Amino acid sequence: MKKILIIGSGGAGKSTLARELGTILGLEVIHLDAWYWNPGWVETPKTEWQSIIQDLTLRESWIMDGNYSGTLDLRLSVADTVIFLDFPRILCLSRVIKRRFMYAGQSRPDMASDCLERLNWEFLKYIWSYPITRRPGILEKLSQVTPNQQVIILRKPTEVREFLLKISHY
């Protein structure tokens, strides 16, 4: 495991898992939100974003967390391990709401500076519709990875803890 991609709904725990895995494996952690968002929640232009992703994926090893469907194919093509956090939407929603209060008035550690934690209706709708609008496409893409790529689907927090325990004993 040298290039690990972590995907899943907002609030699934992608960044937390990336940090924990990074500590265990000693790999660089790349939080895509920190690269995509500029101060004040300004998006990176599409062509620049594609270039950033291209450069990041060329690094020798990494743990990369984030969705960004427009660059998923590129990231999937170079990852040797893909972890899909396939959690219930109610859990994801409750975590996002909790996160909003936990980081009220500040930026999260996995976010660009000056992007104060926020919660808006659009993001809540995205999380609620994720199992219907995003999940099927992700599962389809994961079914097409090459035999030398490992796909790990974790469906609940206890599976994440068991996975981390297993990895830490290697």
Q: 3-state SS of 102-150?
A: HCECCCCCCCCCCCCECCCHHHHHHHHHHHHHCHHHHHHHHCCCCCCCE
Q: Are 92 and 127 in contact (CB under 8 A)?
A: yes
Query: Positive or negative CA dihedral for 113, 116, 121, 127?
Result: positive
**pLDDT in single tens digits along all 170 residues of the chain:** 999 999 999 999 999 999 999 999 999 999 999 999 999 999 999 999 999 999 999 999 999 999 999 999 999 999 999 999 999 999 999 999 999 998 988 889 888 889 999 889 999 999 999 999 999 999 999 999 999 999 999 999 999 999 999 999 87
DSSP 12: S
Assess contact for 2 and 61: CB atoms under 8 A. Answer: yes
3-state SS assignment for residue 9: coil
Calpha distance 31→112 (Å, rounded): 9
Percent of the chain residues past pLDDT 70, beyond the cut: 100
pLDDT number for residue 139: 98
CATH number at residue 154: 3.40.50.300
How many folded domains does the chain comprise? 1
Terminal CA-to-CA distance of the chain, rounded, Å?
12
For 119, the domain range is 3-168
| CA dist., res. 95 & res. 31, Å (int) | 18
